[in-house]
Structure 1
Amino acid sequence: MKKLTYTHNAQAAAVIARAYDTPPLAYVHSYGCQQNVNDGEKIRGVLLDIGFGLCENVEQADLILFNTCAVREHAEQRVFGNVGALKKLKEKNPRLMIGVCGCMAQQQHIVDKLRASYPYVDLVFGVDGIDRLPEILAQRLSRGKRYLENPSERNAVVEDLPIRRDSGFRAWLPIMYGCDNFCTYCIVPYVRGRERSRTPSDVLAEFRDLIARGYKEITLLGQNVNSYGKGLENEAGEPVDFADLLNLLCTVPGDYQIRFMTSHPKDASRKLIDTIAAQPHLCKHIHLPVQSGSNRLLREMNRHYTVEQYLDLVRYAREKIPGVTFSSDIIVGFPGETEEDFCATLDLIEKVRYTQLFTFIYSKREGTRAASMPDPTTHAEKAARMDRLLKLQDSIAFPMIAGLCGQTVRVLVEGAGRNPGTLNGRLDNNLVVEFSGDETLIGNYAQVRLTGSRAALLLGETVQNETDKKE
């Protein structure tokens, strides 16, 4: 694996400056996962570095860039719909540049479709193109021709990319890229490439900088954070794993909390559980995607664990981490799923008792093994199963959430609530509470007494004399 370092491209910046009478404006929209959101922040940082400004309205933009997701068909349809809506805007302003980048652009059939059916799209490049964006834009402007890059994989990690973060107190921090798991339903290894871990020293340096600048919640990102460190060594020459990295980061002084996603159950070790239990900076919530409660389907999905192993890990975590909560991802209607398979998933949900579930009806992805599997179950049957699953989850989670009422908890205040005059914040266990309070609390920790709940939303009130504020 190569390590590359981003440097300012003065030549590209000069080309851009000559092409516009005033600094051009860019509109960047990211779809999909937190990794995509972080990529979008880096895209904005690179654009600012070469002379672009940013805008929030496509009507004002000189460059419109969609940073895309390929995990589900619906996400792709949204992108094509939004790109199609820009045709009239391009007709009004021929100098407008329109670009599609990210995971969708890592698929040849998508690039071919954009090339043939969307002639007004000027730029197409994949997930590894962010550091090359200055060169790509300069080439488009100087040659006046479309720049449509065919998918390719670059076995490298690029450090020191400029970034324009969306928040001043919550930050995404990638620790690795790509995936080696090749779950049969998942397109990620094909569009994000194979696993590449950042060095502990590079992660630590970025983490220290975030804490020094006052960030209070850092979420570590990876397609499978539990496999962090493969092929890496620490300063003493010893292998390093995810638990080692967590312990290293927790040595940084400060008032902050660390979350991470996403964890793969096959790599979630007891060492990791012990680390979460021992480190106060680590949130006591684990997102542990199970996907199915059927061992037969888990084999078909290429998940490399059994339901029994999964439940053993959950039991161990509950023994070691008082009050730990779990969330998970579940796919309904995977090819060949029977009623027996589905009932096994319901049984697992009853045993684990998740506080949150992220559920999806199976989405066929071209190029994956599951795409060629027989899938006789109708969409109506899958939707009916989904409805049953959601009702079961609500019957479990809502009473659990209501049972928290009466506690006083520390909350990082994230922003305005749904109702006028309210704020919302996230508990250590990843649940959201809405409470009345002054906007000056946003970005600070506050002590909140939980007074009620509404479905999955907690309600509360600030405990004024215990509120933590920035000095």
Structure 2
Amino acid sequence: MRTRDLPVFPLVPNPVRPDVNPDVAPVRHEFEAVGSPDGPRIALVTLGCDKNTVDSERIMASLVGHGARVSSDIQGAEILIVNTCGFIQDAKEQSVETILDACDLKARGHLNAVVAVGCLVQRYKTELEHEIPEVDLFMGLTELQGLVPELRRRGFLPATQSIPTMEQPLRILSTETPHTSYLKISEGCDHTCAFCAIPLMRGLHRSEPVENLVREAAGLGVQGVKEINVISQDTTWYGRDRKRLDPSAPLLPDLLRALLIGTDVPWFRLFYMYPSGITSELIELIANEDRILPYLDMPIQHGADRMLRLMRRPERQVTIRRRVEQLRQTIPELTLRTTVILGFPGETDDDFAEMLDFLAEIRFERVGAFAYSMEEGTRAAEMEGHVPIELVNERMGELMDVQREISFEKNAELVGQRSMVLVDEVLEEDGDFDALARTIGQALDVDGVTNLCNAADVQSGNMIEVEIVDCLDYDLIGKVI
């Protein structure tokens, strides 16, 4: 369905990531239609990360509140809104492909209008407007509050509001597991990591007020959410922007206490926690509050000090080691997840070996590894010593072999223990297992799962106790007690 190839943003030679395969479908969420059956039919396609998911759910709530019928199904839609991603090269190209596909549908009379919003538009709006004039409206992240008024002005939405403002939900859940959702507590990032283009798209760090977040989280609880994943670019940085102006401004521990008081949601899971920002107060809070799960997503990005300096990361081996020791001493049942980047410019065999040794020493329960992606406008894009993709893939395989063994050993330690799990999916009959669930130590989509047997009567969203009876490299097998 592509109409043409367009270099709609500055492209640079990329020796690490191969060109995106045009046959690969963009990552997107499928959800049932919501809103007035008689309203204008709007399809919303969400590309990219969990933060984009939150943005789309807010857009959905606003559109439905103004009389629209919103779904992820393009078939029969009058308007298509694409929430774009611009994080890495593949994501940019998939976003452009999706926009071009939408324009092709419009040209053939299947759509009345195409709207593009989100990260890619925030960074490349001028180029996109010039290269794809068929798009009716481009809006970046900082302009999203004006989306509904602009659609109304153009006649795409009714002139009157169908749901009173006070009765509108802040978000309408759009994932296949509505018992799990995300709470984006801030926008943007103050860090200057050499590889990252996020500040170029989302700007500097801006914390959402505590009262707004408590209201949003409480609303998610009313919709049946059992697990809230607390997210941002650096979750530990919450409140520091406001603290500069007001010494009494709340920080992350204060926000978490407010969420515990103001909601009934049983599980809060913390993501994107910079090691340097994890304080003793926060560690004690996690240790003492059952509803804040003993699980931390703590990206370190590399394990060699030389590479951490080149990446402009604030941590070093000694500080990471010290933080992990403090966490595990205070929270013995803690699950630690981290992410690392392979093939950053200048990474040598010695650097990679040092990282492997460090990961083997720390023994994170979960490790995600990603190939470096050159991003235009970042410091790393100007560096020399880019690593060939073949070598990156070789290192990736070696790293995952090391982590697979660690993961299996960690899982084996859980066999025979009892654990509370959250059921994500009931499986078809006649299979080996009845359902898929997750323990406190397993986050949705990024970690393994717990396969349940003796669970014929469970439903998605149930929280039940199981005994871990066996394990695989990354997954567990549990029996309902």
Shared fold (TM-score greater than 0.5)?
yes
Deviation per residue, 1:314-339 (Å, 9 max, x gap) = 01111000121111111000011111
CA contact (8 A) 1:46 1:133 kept: no
State the distance in 2 between where 1:165 and 1:399 align: 36
1:270 is aligned to: 280
Matches within 5 A, 1:98-247: 98-108=114-124, 111-141=125-155, 162-166=170-174, 168-212=178-222, 214-232=224-242, 238-247=248-257
Residue deviations 1:43-92 (CA, integer Å, cap 9, x gap): 11111112211233212211222212222111112222233333442222
Cα contact 1:49–1:162 (8 A) shared by 2: no
- The separation in 2 between residues aligned to 1:230 and 1:381, in whole angstroms, is 40
Tell me the distance in 2 between the aligned counterparts of 1:403 and 1:327: 17
Task: Verify: 1:258 aligned to 2:252, yes or no.
Answer: no
1:318 aligns with 2:318: no
Partner residue, 2:479: 461
| Equivalent residues of 2:426, 2:458 under 8 A apart | no
CA shift for structure 1 position 399: 2.5
Deviation per CA, 1:199-218: give whole Å up to 9, x if none. 22222333344445543212
Opposite residue 172 of structure 2, the aligned amino acid is: R
Distance 2:108 2:405 in 1: 53
* Pairing 1:39–2:55 present: yes
Q: Which residue of 2 aligns with 1:350?
A: 360
Structure 1 residues 441 and 95: CA distance shift in structure 2, 3 A: closer
- Counting only pairs closer than 5 Å after superposition, residues 319-468 of structure 1 correspond to structure 2 as 319-417=329-427, 420=431, 422-430=434-442, 431-436=448-453, 437-438=455-456, 440-463=458-481
Where does residue 3 of structure 1 map in the other structure? none
Unaligned runs of 5+ in 1: 1-19, 143-159, 464-471
359-368 vs 265-274, greater mean Cα deviation: 265-274
> Offset at 1:418?
8.5
Tell me the SS of whatever aligns to 2:419.
strand
Matched AA of 1:428: I
Q: CA deviation at 1:168?
A: 4.3
Code of the aligned partner of 1:86: A
Distance 2:303 2:171 in 1: 40
Unaligned runs of at least 5 residues, structure 2: 1-35, 157-167, 443-447
TM-score when normalising by structure 2: 0.82
Once residues 296 and 218 of structure 2 are traced to their aligned partners in structure 1, the CA distance between those partners, rounded to angstroms, is 24
SS in 2 for 1:434: strand
Alpha-carbon separation, structure 2, partners of 1:165 and 1:255: 15
State the alpha-carbon separation in 2 of the partners of residues 70 and 416 from structure 1.
34
Deviation by residue 1:3-23 (Cα, 9 ceiling, x = unmatched): xxxxxxxxxxxxxxxxx9952
RMSD (Å), alpha carbons: 2.5
Asked if structure 2 preserves the Cα contact closer than 8 Å seen for 1:32 and 1:69, the reply is: yes
- Secondary structure in 2 aligned to 1:441? coil
State percent identity of aligned pairs. 27
DSSP-derived class of the 1:58 partner: coil
How many residue pairs end up in the alignment?
423
SS at match of 1:286: strand
Instruction: Name 2:75's counterpart in structure 1.
Output: 59
**Partner of 1:290: helix, strand, or coil?**
coil
Q: Indicate if the aligned counterparts of 1:451 and 1:461 stay in contact, CA closer than 8 A.
A: yes
Q: Residue 205 of structure 2 contacts residue 241 of structure 2 at CA under 8 Å; is this kept in 1?
A: no
Q: More deviation in 246-255 or 117-126?
A: 246-255
Greater relative contact order structure (CA < 8 Å, 6+ sep): 2
The residue type equivalent to 1:58 in the other structure is I
- TM-score, normalising length from structure 1? 0.84
Instruction: Quote the offset at 1:116 in angstroms.
Output: 3.9
Describe the SS at the equivalent of 2:409: helix
CA 328–36 in structure 1, closer or farther in 2 if over 3 Å, else same: same
User: Is 2:227–2:265's contact at 8 Å kept on the other side of the alignment?
Assistant: no
Q: Using the alignment, how far apart are the partners of 1:161 and 1:201 within structure 2?
A: 15
Change (3 A) 1:237 1:107: closer
